[in-house]
Amino acid sequence: MWGSRKLISSGSRFLGVRRSGCRVAQADCPRSTASAVYSENQLSWTLPIKPWIFSEYRIMWFKSCKMTFVCFNRMKSYRYPWTRLYSTSGTTVDSSEVKTFLALAHRWWDEQGVYAPLHSMNDLRVPFIRDNLLKTVANHQPGKPLSGMKILDVGCGGGLLTEPLGRLGASVIGIDPVAENIETAQRHKSFDPVLDKRIEYRACALEEIVEETAETFDAVIASEVVEHVTDLETFIQCCWQVLKPGASLFITTINKTQLSYALGIVFAEQIAGIVPKGTHTWEKFVSPEMLESILESNGLSVQTVAGMFYNPFSRYWHWSENTSLNYAAHAVKSGAQEHQVPAESVLKEETEELQATASTIAGVREEVKK
Amino acid sequence: MYDSPPFMQPPILPAQGGKNRFLIGLFSSHVLVPVLRWRLKLQVIGGLCSGSASSGGPSGAPSAAQLGTMAARLAVSRWVAARAAARRGPLVSCWRWSSAVADTVYDVVVSGGGLVGAAMACALGYDVHFCDKKILLLEVGPKKVLEKLPETYSNRVSSISPGSATLLSSFGAWDHICNMRYRAFRRMQVWDACSEALIVFDKDNLDDMGYIVENDVIMHALTKQLEAVSDRVTVLYRSKAVGYTWPYSFPMADSSPWVQITLGDGSTLQTKLLIGADGHNSGVRQAAGIQNVSWNYDQSAVVATLHLSEATENNVAWQRFLPSGPIALLPLSDTLSSLVWSTSHEHAAELVSMDEEKFVDAINSAFWSDVNHTDFIDSAGTMLHYAIAFLKPTKVSARQLPPSVARVDAKSRALFPLGLGHAAEYVRPRLALIGDAAHRVHPLAGQGVNMGFGDISSLVHHLSTAAFNGKDLGTDYGLCKQMNAPLLEIMWMTKEHPFPRPSYILKI
């Protein structure tokens, strides 16, 4: 039983099975009961029947995804209360968040305006991304340190982080579910002929481009995004799928602590107006421990977690030891040999291990006999 | 002269037909623009203009109506510009982005190719993080080619501090200077004509305190280095910028965020950052409307190349403060020195026109004669000195006399007026001022060009970091925050290269 479960989970992890299917297979997850109850209705098309028939299963999975999208649009009215946190809808985009950002779509590039803290955050996150990516390269071109790299900026907004990365030589694709943000970003980069060629913007969600861009990116950046998505697990899985083996995932987000409620929501939004009201919901903040566990369980090994701190008076960000407010994380997708092993050879390895242990036990027994 | 160029002056245009636009344009140019000359109001008009103009058509291909409008605008504004030529002050005009204008967008344009401008272009061209960037240097004059170093020394020399020498060597210009000619000096004696007051500077190990280099030599070294990096730095000689158009401080939908520069031949350029290095009458500074505190000293400086009566080690710089102004003798070689004598306009004119023997006598007596000493001052000074020596004994420094001058190089006498200038802001969004455009000083301390090189050093440091962080070079965040603290920068510079300490207590 345990063996088959492991097969199912490893096979499903490789294929990126829907979270509900995966959860059913793993008994250690505490949330499985709630989602299992709900997902039983959908289980008919996410059952992992034969995990080693890959091509067939992949087609089934894609079809099931599309059907679930359609299905969930119809089933919005039947939402159960506990699914607010763990929505099993196929999209990671929250429509209420879309509305919040729509209102401010034209204010991205006003550097003294509402998005000033994000402009200032570039002082931290661009060197963070650049230095970690340069570690993976033997020698780089001076002046264009990131040239030759393909980067995906998820939730790029107005392109605040996309443009500096483009200037450093990378070819960047920026995606955002709010079409107006993409328009603003497009317009802003159109004035610079160099950036125009290096950056491409698309108004879509991450799940929509997973199929066509599987394993093509050297880095995926989700900066100030994971506290706005509906389904973090799916999001991370999609990120995993579009990364090349050995590639990096960069996340910056806000911790879920009392301090982040007091400073991040009460002070920043309501009192000082540093962040527009309603931008953040404390319930959706992600603690570094939870993020690490999700990353590790999805095949991304966490390299760095570093705290960041914003001084609203000097309007500068600083690195800090303390991750209780904002933090940045860098994870690397495990290399080629570990996860692309087909399930049958995993089975073979296990039987070989069993045989090996059996032989050693036999050998020990012989020695004991002697 | 530096108003916005003719075809950049927009009248207010509603989004109606062409004829209406022309008439309303005419009306606004003649009535509204003169009335509403203040910069704040013009910004509003510019905003309206771009808003209405953009609603008139797609920002992509220019239609016939738009071209007609532009022609009408051109005709009207050329007429207006002739009358507006005397008008000064900041004119913010809107520039509607048209993709038909295929300008290269330069990353940095340095306006002014003098010592400081050329050094700035060189420093950026050799900076490792600017490998990918396009830099342009605009120079009004022709290219100065120095095939062979002339036998006679030029009469314009600069005292280069060790910090400036480090900057010049960072992009390889100092090696060219060493191969040509320069003179290191090790001591500096500055004393008074009316009393025994004296101060002497030298470095601990009698290291070189500074270098006297001819301006032509520095310029030639910079030109050679610019040629070597011509793939990154383009130099346009005989190009004068006649107008500048600044982008809005807030991002407007259809307007270009870059600075537009119009050259004398009508061509336009765009740049992300404009650096004004065009001297104390800076056109860039005037076009930007940056306030400049300035006044003229009632003094002119007389320069000449002098032959000493006998060859000496000549590694001391001499300066004496006369009642009319300081006179300085700077070493050029074992037998030659350069004179810089700041005095009143009348006396300067007299000195330049008098015959050589009288001129040489005037110089010698200026340095040697004690005619301005009075008994009262002498005795007062001696008493004060005894009183201080009683409390704290001090080393007595003997006053040394500079070498005597035998003759002056023919045709090397020249004079130029002196003044002070200081810009209220060195840095604005998409603009930076360096060198004399930002600060003009009296030559008595020999620090003018050194401060300019100090500007280059700190500006290149900040731009390099910004480029490595992928920042937009001209934006507020990248530049202004760090650069509007010139005092801090000077402190940073002096930390690296401390000024020499006076080795003797000031003798009163």
Average pLDDT over residues B501-505: 42
Flag whether residue A109 sits within 8 Å of chain B, measured between CB atoms.
Answer: yes
CB B429, CB B476: distance < 8 Å: yes
Label residues B305-315 b or e (16+ Cβ within 10 Å = b).
bbebeeeeebb
Q: What is the pLDDT of residues A47-56, one digit of tens each?
A: 444 444 445 5
pTM for the structure as a whole = 0.72
Strands (E), chain A: 150-154, 171-175, 199-202, 217-223, 243-254, 300-311, 316-320, 326-333
The stretch B101-113 carries a mean pLDDT of: 82
CA A101 to each of CA A120, A176, A287, B179, B227: distance values in angstroms, whole numbers, following the listed order: 19, 11, 23, 63, 50
Look up residue A320 and give its amino acid. S
Q: Would you say B338 and B330 are in contact if contact means Cβ atoms under 8 Å apart? A: yes
Nearest-Cα distance to chain B for A185, in Å, is 11
Q: Which residues contact A368 (CB under 8 A, 6 or more apart)?
A: none
Give the mean pLDDT of A59-78: 50
What's the rounded Cα separation, in Å, for the pair A211 and A52? 20
**Strands across the sheet containing A217-223:** A199-202, A171-175, A150-154, A217-223, A243-254, A326-333, A300-311, A316-320
Whether residues B129 and A143 touch (CB distance < 8 A) is answered with yes
Averaged pLDDT score across all residues of chain A? 76
pLDDT mean across residues, chain B: 80
Q: CB under 8 Å to B210, separation ≥6 — which residues?
A: B159, B160, B161, B162, B184, B185, B317, B446
Instruction: Choose the weakest-confidence range: A233-247, A296-310, A323-337.
Output: A323-337
The model's confidence at residue B384, banded by pLDDT at 50, 70 and 90, is: confident
Q: Give tens-digit pLDDT for B249-291.
A: 776 767 888 999 999 999 999 999 999 999 999 999 999 999 9
For chain A, count helices (H), then strands (E): 15, 8
C-alpha span between B12 and B46 (Å, rounded)? 8
Choose the weakest-confidence range: A41-50, A54-63, A240-249, B152-161.
Answer: A41-50
Looking at residue B392, its pLDDT comes to 82
- The answer on whether A338 is annotated among ligand-binding residues is no
Residue B225 has pLDDT above 50, yes or no: yes
pLDDT, residue A63, reads 53
> Any idea which residue has 């030589």 for tokens?
A169
User: Which of A119, A126, A143 lies nearest to residue B132, judging by beta carbons?
Assistant: A143
Tell me the pLDDT band of A275, cut-offs 50, 70 and 90.
confident
Q: Is residue B69 predicted with pLDDT exceeding 70?
A: no
pLDDT of residue A22 exceeding 80: no
Note whether A173 and A185 are within 8 A (CB): no
Cα of B179 to nearest chain A Cα, Å: 30
Q: In chain A, what percentage of residues exceed pLDDT 90?
A: 41
CA distance B435 to B111: 12
Q: Give the model's confidence band at A154: pLDDT under 50 very low, under 70 low, under 90 confident, else very high.
A: very high
The amino acid present at A138, given as its one-letter code, is A
Tell me: pLDDT of B93 over 70: no
Nearest to B477 among A111, A142, A191 (CB): A111
B216 with B146: CB under 8 angstroms?
A: yes
Q: Work out the average pLDDT over A335-341.
A: 49
Least reliable range by pLDDT among A46-50, A58-62, B172-176, B447-451: A46-50
CB B210 within 8 A of CB B160: yes
Q: What integer pLDDT is reported at residue B6 of this predicted model? A: 43
Section B37-45 average pLDDT:
52
Separation in Å, CA A220 to CA A236, A241, A284: 10, 11, 21
> Residues A23-33: what's their mean pLDDT?
41
Mutating which of B471, B475, B480 best tests the A interface, going by the most A Cβ atoms within 10 A? B471
The residue count for chain B: 508
A81 part of contact set with chain B, CB < 8 Å: no
Nearest-CA distance A123 → chain B (Å): 7
Residue B347 predicted with pLDDT over 70: yes
pLDDT at B81: 45
Instruction: Kindly indicate the confidence band of residue B82, based on its pLDDT and cuts at 50, 70 and 90.
Output: very low
Query: pLDDT band at B115, cuts 50/70/90?
Result: very high
Structure-model confidence comparison of residues A103 and B486, the more confident one: A103
Q: Who has greater pLDDT, B54 or B411? A: B411
| CA max distance for chain B | 92
More confidently predicted of B507 and A318? A318
Q: What is the pLDDT of residue A312?
A: 87
**Dihedral sign for Cα atoms in the order B34, B35, B37, B40:** negative
A56 marked ligand binding residue: no
Confidence class for position A66, pLDDT limits 50, 70, 90: low
ipTM confidence score? 0.70
How do A217-223 and A243-254 pair as beta strands? Answer: parallel
> What is the three-class DSSP state of A144?
strand
pLDDT band of A361, cuts 50, 70, 90: low
CB contact under 8 A, B129 and A126: no
* A223 annotated binding-site participant: yes
